[in-house]
């Protein structure tokens, strides 16, 4: 900051609000670009005609990727993963309580933690209780976006500090969460989610030098539509690091 002028601002979508004014914006960096819609993109263009824009994403949206392929935008690809990282071992399977218990106990046995992705706020507490009953030795907590800010923060910090073994969560963990000790992910009703979302969720594990596991489950005997089957097949087949493109 010089003479009361801020040189760098880090913020959420709030920076695109009408009441936010920039004196001389020169560079805009957009992280997790796939979370910004067309309206947001148009607003970014209006900030300044000649502003330099750098967008970062592991799963580029088709519109951005198409523009890059046509040469309208420059495209750089980071293909080298961080040192000592391994591809996440990915499985697509019917939901089975015994299987889930085994996966959680296996991770706990090596001192690790587990994400259990359950994207229903109304019944997430009930699912948390079910997991606690399923694995009595596990310390289980939950988190979702409708919790009070202080409650959500406490839940996430306690999990980060290792006070809990399993975090039952909605998709709020999809981006921006980096807990290297979590190396097992179990997704409930994975067939209801998009391919980009599944890819981002899988990226929450495997962030250390341990082999990580991701289990994408669907309801037993459920007849999935063709699109859902293709999404799950794709997330199962493409497991190499950097495969997001």
Question: When comparing pLDDT for 41 and 211, which is higher?
Answer: 211
What pLDDT shows up at residue 167?
Answer: 97
- Top pLDDT among 165 and 238 is at 165
CA 131 to each of CA 61, 70, 162, 198, 228: distance values in angstroms, whole numbers, following the listed order: 35, 49, 18, 22, 26
pLDDT at 172 over 60: yes
Q: How far is CA 108 from CA 48, 112, 182, in A?
A: 51, 5, 10
CATH T-level topology, domain 89-237: Rossmann fold (3.40.50)
H helix intervals, 121-163:
124-134, 149-160
**How many angstroms separate the most distant Cα atoms in the chain?**
66
Cβ-contact 207, 235 below 8 angstroms: no
Pairwise pLDDT comparison (235 vs 137), residue with the higher score: 137
CA distances from 94 to 115, 214, 219, 224 (A): 18, 13, 6, 12
Alpha carbon 184 to chain centroid distance? 14
As a whole number of angstroms, the distance between CA 123 and CA 143 comes to: 12
What's this model's pTM, rounded to 2 decimal places?
0.76
Cβ-based neighbour number of residue 55 at 10 Å: 19
Mean pLDDT of the region 120-134? 97
Delimit the domains of the chain by residue range.
13-70, 89-237
Q: What is the pLDDT of residues 203-242, one digit of tens each?
A: 899 888 899 999 999 998 787 778 888 888 887 776 665 5
Neighbours of 156 (CB within 10 A): 19
Given a contact cutoff of 8 angstroms between Cβ atoms, the answer to whether 218 and 117 are in contact is no
| Confidence tier at 134 by pLDDT (50, 70, 90) | very high
- Which tens digit of pLDDT belongs to each residue from 74-99? 777 776 777 777 889 999 999 999 99
- Average the pLDDT over 141-149 and give the result: 94
Mean pLDDT of the residues in the chain: 84
Q: Looking at residue 15, what is its pLDDT? A: 77
Give per-residue burial for 31-51: e unless 16+ CB within 10 Å, then b: eebbbbeeeebebbeeeeeee
Q: Is 134 helix (H, G, I), strand (E, B) or coil?
A: helix
The confidence score (pLDDT) of residue 230 equals 83
């Amino acid at each position: 900051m010089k003479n009361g002028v801020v040189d760098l601002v880090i913020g959420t979508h709030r920076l695109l609000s009408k009441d936010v004014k920039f004196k001389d914006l020169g560079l805009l960096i957009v992280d997790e670009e796939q979370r910004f819609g067309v309206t947001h993109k148009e607003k970014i263009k209006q900030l300044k005609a000649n502003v330099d824009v750098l967008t970062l994403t592991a799963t580029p949206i088709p519109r951005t990727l198409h523009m890059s392929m046509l040469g309208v935008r420059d495209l750089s690809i980071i293909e080298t993963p961080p040192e000592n990282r391994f591809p996440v071992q990915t499985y697509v399977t019917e939901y089975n309580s015994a299987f889930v218990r085994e996966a959680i106990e296996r991770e706990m046995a090596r001192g690790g933690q587990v994400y259990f992705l359950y994207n229903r706020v109304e019944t997430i507490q009930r699912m948390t209780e079910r997991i606690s009953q399923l694995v009595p030795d596990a310390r289980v907590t939950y988190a979702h976006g409708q919790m009070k800010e202080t409650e959500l923060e406490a839940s996430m910090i306690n999990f980060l500090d290792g006070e809990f073994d399993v975090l039952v969560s909605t998709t709020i963990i999809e981006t921006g969460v980096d807990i290297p000790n979590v190396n097992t992910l179990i997704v409930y009703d994975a067939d209801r989610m998009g391919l980009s979302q599944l890819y981002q969720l899988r990226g929450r594990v495997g962030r250390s030098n341990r082999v990580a596991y991701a289990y994408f489950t669907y309801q037993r005997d459920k007849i999935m539509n063709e699109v859902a089957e293709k999404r799950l097949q794709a997330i199962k087949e493409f497991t190499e690091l950097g495969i997001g493109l």
